[in-house]
Chains A and B, each alone.
Chain A
């Protein structure tokens, strides 16, 4: 019986933490992610309430336990949960929403970088076209960082989560490091 050893998006056994000046970049390898899309004519409210899955409005992230979620496009969300307990997040959501929703595993489609610094705005203004100072806490948006399609979630001025394409994890981290050295 195979027992496969996982490798992080940055190519190691353990997730990396990188410090650049006041910035801490933490690779999040402990999150399971799935997309949840409402099928046409269906209403997900009851199932979402029952399963404890938040379905925030456009441009919003909503934290919860065990599920957090952010809006990605009309009638579609990315749902996060702890990997340790929810590795099978797609199957769990599928059983909760049955045929009312289309669910697709996204856990390993992304590298997830948590960014922390007293003020992330000087960094993020070099990376993406998001007015980070102005957008409210809990803002979630699709954006482009160094040619890479990403999702950015603002928790607060000093904390953000960046979803980038997993295969380009090294390029994305490099961009963050170089921009941070310039910004801070």
Chain B
């Protein structure tokens, strides 16, 4: 078949031929075609099956409002379902397939649904699949989903990239029809920075689809000349193939630019689509209008289209949708289609003007229109053989974006349509057909005036002459005839009957009607059907159309690919990652890494022969406790706190006191939230009179810094305090174990004997002359230090320590061994700092000062938080050393039933301790400090485990703290 329906003219490049396939059959088209125009040119009008009844469908429209012609484009990773053929730009080799049919588009087994339509009326699912309740999730829903569904995905990874970005302009013009072009031209000539975005690949809007003259030129030629002038302006950015999706606050709009959708494969490095966030000083919505059909029996057959679409296919694409065409209209615009088609040599066999009392009452044709049945004003009916019917029920201004902030559109009876209300997004004006100004002259004028008004320009440019015919329309929503189905929303198979049923069952609110019937849902969001539906509901209820009102318009204006929303954030780059200073060394050793926030921390470092993670972790723990181990602790937050009020500031943010800390010493600090719950903990050192270095947990590094900034700027702005994060500036290593001092002494330049650098000492030192910091603190319970050098030297320092201290067989341990050793020592961490626990719960109640005011002080005294029988941190061991513990298990008395009323608390952290030789755990136990030495059951109902345990001190290692002071 070779473009049997191609006529003369149109904005296609006939010098080039593009080959494409539809359902496996080869066709030809030209650059400038959409998939729909090319298929129609080839005489193909059956393009899909409807959602519910699997009715044969062809395109209704020629634009993004299309409800019917949804296809799957491409294959493999690029397969894209639910694409509107009416906006899919044709390219060489395009592979398109129909969807929602089996086994083929012409014979679809599920078309049986159409015969069973009486069962599938609105509310069918709600009423039918109620019982038994348990069947819904496992039985009913999967069956319904399989039968419904629009299109399929290949489940292969999308090979293309997507991008995001930010644009700024003084004026954003949404839509490049006559109003948008005139607005952009006015602003552009005034030197303003302008973005003109349009969803189409060819700017000009309806000018490309009409035969009107603008000035001395054809409308399309004027549009092309205007686009050329605008593109020469450095202050104007033209964005074709760009749909403005939504209006947000403060003049911000989102838009998706389809950079490569019209290409078989994106250019190297280029994204498929870009999601833009546009910051505009002012914006003008020039989104045009969408024609609406008239509902009559069997009005959904392929070949029945909107009259404006028939005209667009003829004028813009040189395509006749049929050989014998009829027009059914209630307004003058429909008559234009007849004129334009005639001038293209198409036989127009009938014009049925509802204003004269003539109506189309039915149609026939199984896979496409073959005839219409017409009833004239005298009541006589006759059948007319046609293969295309253009229907015009009037035009609806595209108010969508103007209503994204819940502005209600206003009914304008003169055009029988809703127009934008008065309370749209701040800074957004409306012009052209979107405003209800339907003539070309009005579009040009309102576009120009909106730009002048928005930007405060002076002087109005001359407007080119253009048609200014008045709108003459007599509303007709549906034809009252027969008992058959008349479609309103073709995408969701919603008919006039469904609206009537909704009314009968009292779903008369427009929002209820939408949910009950599904009118206006899915990919087209009811762009062609909504107003008809609510108008019919108005008739049925005796209310006016404005009283009935519209549903809420929500973003996005047209569907957006999830890839565009993700942008560059996918796969390994889903979020940025952070590497520690020792990462390269650890990677060389084949270390396993674990994500901690964005950090990749070393989890353990396997040695030759170790086949299972516990072997590595046990070895790291034992080697550290036996000699010396090194751990990269750079990830802990570090905050530099300076100023003459630094000490007083810390007294306010910590539960314990820091202003009395001596220079050169550090102290463990506990930070509470305002509600008295523990927020974070860490060690803070006083490096000079007015200089402290705070450490935070890795997880809370940012939140603590943010909290301190809030305190500094908002709570106590008069304090002399300066804050800055230094987390990344210093590479910091914990060096722990009996030989820690001996090893470090080989590296640092100063004497670090116990006398010279006692427990909890802190200070500036040097490593080979390099400025460094040393803190004598311990998380493992061993003699331990943390040494810090500027980050660039971190990798070298680690290698230096391992090399110089080789005689001590130092090992590097990861977060698993770190966790084992901190639990052995009874230090709280993530499992205990759970956002629900107090210092008292953690056994740190004595740290909470009674002598000063600080954040959380007052509410930490609440009765509920000071219960003497409340949760207390305890250690847990299985009575049988081979017994297994499970974190999350709950404590029960020996004889107590496993019910919530008997719950005594829970195991918060659990490890295998090579030091103890069994599983050990920390937990919160009610009255736990009085239960040391008793036995309980640790019950995990989820996992089905139960272990007899002994409650012990949380300090499994060196409870007196002799090692770390050694």
Contacts and interface: CB of A to CB of B under 8 A. Distances in A.
Contacts of A171: 573, 576-577
Nearest to B585: A7
**Which interface residue of A76, A131, A172 has the most chain B CB atoms within 10 A?**
A131
Contacts of B725: 109
A179 to B, nearest CB: 7
A170 interface: yes
A167 B792 CA distance: 11
Contacts of A172: 576
A130 B690 CA distance: 37
Interface residues of B, number: 67
A69 interface: no
A104 B640 contact: yes
Contacts of A181: 268-270
Contacts of A102: 640, 642-643, 690-691, 722
A92 interface: no
B281 to A, nearest CB: 11
A168 B796 contact: no
B684 to A, nearest CB: 15
Interface string A117-130: 00000000111111
Interface stretch (A33-41, A45-53, A57-65): A33-41
A134 B168 contact: yes
B729 A105 contact: yes
Contact of A125 (B167, B719, B728, B767): B167
Interface in B713-740: 718-720, 722, 724-731
Interface in B546-575: 568-569, 573, 575
A99 interface: yes
Nearest to A7: B795
A2 B795 contact: no
Contacts of A109: 725-729, 791
B251 interface: no
Interface string B748-785: 01000000000000000001111100000000000000
Interface string A66-102: 0000000000100000000000100100000001001
Given A3-B768, A99-B690, A179-B163, A167 B640 contact: no
A110 interface: yes
B790 interface: yes
A39 B643 contact: yes
Contact of B767 (A4, A127, A174): A4
B568 A175 contact: yes
A105 B726 contact: yes
Contacts of A2: 747, 767-768, 770, 796-797, 800, 804
B579 interface: yes
Given A40-B720, A126-B165, A171-B573, A1 B579 contact: no
**Which interface residue of B167, B270, B279, B576 has the most chain A CB atoms within 10 A?**
B576
Interface string B795-833: 111001000100000000000000000000000000000
A37 B767 contact: no
B161 A182 contact: yes
A18 interface: no
A106 B726 contact: yes
Contact of B584 (A7, A104, A110, A126): A7
A109 B731 CA distance: 10
Nearest to B235: A133
A35 B724 contact: yes
B344 interface: no
A182 B720 contact: no
Contacts of A1: 749, 768-769
B768 A8 contact: no
Interface in B445-480: none
B523 interface: no
B414 interface: no
A41 B127 CA distance: 74
A4 B796 contact: yes
Interface size class of A (residues with CB under 8 A): 35 or more
B269 A166 contact: no
Given A108-B729, A167-B579, A131 B168 contact: yes
A19 interface: no
A138 interface: no
Secondary structure of the B contact surface, majority rule: mixed
A40 B797 contact: no
Nearest to B794: A7
A11 B584 contact: yes
B230 interface: no
Contacts of B584: 7, 11
A14 interface: no
**Which interface residue of A8, A170, A172 has the most chain B CB atoms within 10 A?**
A170
A82 B691 CA distance: 26
A109 B640 CA distance: 12
A178 B161 contact: yes
A141 interface: no
Contacts of B797: 2, 4
Contact of A4 (B271, B277, B768): B768
Given A4-B793, A7-B584, A165-B578, A108 B770 contact: no
**Which interface residue of A5, A11, A108, A125 has the most chain B CB atoms within 10 A?**
A108
B274 interface: yes
**Which interface residue of B163, B690, B727 has the most chain A CB atoms within 10 A?**
B163
B163 A108 contact: no
Contacts of A147: 569, 575-576
Interface string A155-184: 000000000011111111011001101100
A41 B163 CA distance: 47
B816 to A, nearest CB: 21
B580 interface: yes
A125 B768 contact: no
Nearest to A3: B768
B166 interface: yes
Interface in B124-166: 161, 163-166
Given A39-B722, A109-B728, A11 B579 contact: yes
A40 B768 contact: no
Contacts of A175: 568, 573, 576
Given A7-B584, A39-B720, A182-B270, A107 B579 contact: no
Contacts of B248: none
B270 A170 contact: no
B599 A167 contact: yes
B504 interface: no
B869 interface: no
Nearest to B644: A39
A76 B724 CA distance: 10
Contact of B729 (A4, A106, A179): A106
B117 to A, nearest CB: 49
B589 interface: no
B768 A108 contact: no
A146 interface: yes
Interface string A131-148: 100100000000000111
A17 B848 CA distance: 53
B598 interface: yes
A4 B770 contact: yes
20 contacts: A2-B796, A5-B795, A7-B581, A29-B792, A40-B643, A40-B720, A99-B644, A102-B640, A102-B643, A102-B722, A104-B729, A106-B726, A108-B792, A125-B167, A171-B573, A174-B573, A178-B568, A179-B163, A182-B161, A182-B270
8 pairs of A and B residues whose beta carbons are closest in the complex: A181-B269, A171-B576, A2-B768, A102-B642, A40-B720, A108-B791, A167-B578, A4-B796
Interface of A: 1-9, 11, 29, 35, 37, 39-41, 76, 88, 91, 99, 102, 104-110, 125-131, 134, 146-148, 165-172, 174-175, 178-179, 181-182
Given A2-B770, A29-B792, 20 more contacts: A1-B769, A2-B804, A3-B768, A6-B792, A6-B793, A35-B724, A37-B724, A40-B645, A102-B722, A104-B724, A106-B729, A108-B729, A109-B725, A109-B728, A127-B165, A129-B166, A147-B575, A165-B728, A168-B578, A179-B568
